[in-house]
Amino acid sequence: MRPGGARIRPGALPGIFTAFAGAGASQFRKRFLNSPPTMNAPDPVLRHLAALGLDRTQTVYYNLPPARLVELSVRRGEGRLTAGGPLATRTDPHTGRSPNDRFIVEEDTSKDDVAWGATNRPISEGAFDRIHDAMKRYATGRDVFVRDCYAGADPRYRVRVRIITEKAWHSMFAHNMFLRPATIEELEDFEPDYTVLDLCDFKATDQVNEELNSSTFVLLHLGRGLVLIGGTNYAGEIKKSVFSALNYRLPSQGVLPMHCSANEAVGGGNAAVFFGLSGTGKTTLSADASRVLIGDDEHGWSDEGVFNFEGGCYAKAIHLSAEGEPEIYATTKEFGTVAENVTLTPSREIDFDDATITENTRLSYPIDQIPNASASGIGGVPETVVFLTADAFGVLPPISRLTPDQAQYHFLSGYTAKVAGTERGVTEPKATFSACFGEPFMVLHPTRYAEMLGERIEQSGARVFLVNTGWTGGPYGTGSRMKLAWTRRMVNAALAGELDDVETTTEPVFGLAVPTAVEGVPDAVLQPRKTWDDSDAYDAKASQLADMFAENFEKYREQASEAVCAAGPTKETVA
């Protein structure tokens, strides 16, 4: 028994390996447990829960293995098993993040470093405490699931994270997405650097939400290392709140946190990072069977190299197919995968083309389900940096080489475009700018990360490319989407160094160095103006997009260097 009378459930079933004797036992531990079994929550865990005001909960489930979490999720009505093995869950009405409900506590230890504004909204410490108190009362008599894990594959920069949830499947999500302790001994003296308390069904009431926008909230107290989440079942809030904390913590340690995927050559070396917003091909292009996948979404770049923050992947599932993305599709036949907001056929098969619930259907799975995934999550210093954009205006070259100053400019811009029909009211291509290709998670001023990227590029000599995976031959509705085979060929050429010394021409509006030839790609495709039937229409559209870039960049002009400011399109160039 523990304080308050709550029971402690074991983290493993007695004799669980007996049924998996022989060679299959080690594979079972790797795939299905992947976190060491423990019969009781250690005393430090209980003391920490008591310090958080969670000493009157009903049952504490500590570091349960996936088999138990899936069993409990189904028993508690949180999800359904699919024909292939994954657990299907729903998070509606919140089928994505709630950026307007994310706040950072304005407190003495961090307030001078946070870039306050629409992204990082302030909330008072008093409001944070009142909401925390209300969550304590809500948790009384309820079960909680505690998972101890890590963020950061490199032990030199790793942080310890404790995820406390009221849903079993959220603990399963945390098991998949974060790095799992390798031994029981690691858990005995585990003291978290950050704690996430996610009581997803708790909604802030009128008495405690005077500084909130709704009953939903994601609150980061950077000084205490505590995150409070309520009013949303969307599991991505857990992952991104930890990412936000790392974006605050790591720069002071000389590590550039990045919203990117990363891979490297088989056998090591020639590491590359891929930045890109949703729909640009970040996951698809980095998941190359001929290379080793370091990670698909969040990484750090230190003096020693690049390392994954996570232990799993959170891939979009809409229109997924075995032909298009075979490695990701294979995870939908694995026990332990979590499938969010997918619809099921009567035979419990996942209908990947059904967006009835949302377009943002997701799969969460341990990265070792990808055959070519790195076992360590650590790679060398990146030799290639790729910025991916889906330009629906059809004016950016399919590939171009950037100078270090241009790299900072386009990193700060974080451009892509939404096409008609993706959102209500979007009837023509809409430019989207997200600083550092991940502005919603950047706690410091974007120029801080851009300067660090510039330093990393200078120190490493990394080549930088801007790759347009969007439209050619005209804008969306007139032109056509760039062929994936051409994009893969251009990216592979860039990674192999084939474009290091080739002849280039300077694109006149954005000043980009465009290769005149890439083996396997039609020459005309490389020069977007030549793909348009009406060159005057191209010039007008290019000028329009350049004006959008210039207008967006104004907010960085005071803090960015003169060289970086001059690296984008200018009014003189556009004219």
Assess contact for 410 and 527: CB atoms under 8 A. no
The Cα–Cα gap between 519 and 494 comes to 11
Assess contact for 293 and 376: CB atoms under 8 A. no
Give the residue numbers annotated as catalytic, written as ranges. 97, 240, 259, 278, 282-283, 297, 362
**Phi, psi at 385, each rounded to 5°:** -120, 125
DSSP characters over 285-313: HH--TTEEEEESSEEEE-SS-EEES-SEE
Q: Tell me 11's DSSP state.
A: S
CA nearest neighbour of 97 among 325, 438, 557: 438
E strand residue ranges, 34-190:
59-62, 79-81, 87-89, 102-105, 121-123, 144-151, 159-165
The Cα–Cα gap between 142 and 194 comes to 22
The Cα–Cα gap between 543 and 547 comes to 6
User: H/E element holding 466?
Assistant: strand 463-468
The Cα–Cα gap between 336 and 312 comes to 11
CA nearest neighbour of 429 among 420, 438, 441: 420
416 pairs with which residues across the strands? 432
CA nearest neighbour of 216 among 230, 199, 205, 206: 230
Residue 291 has a CB neighbour count (10 Å cut-off) of 19
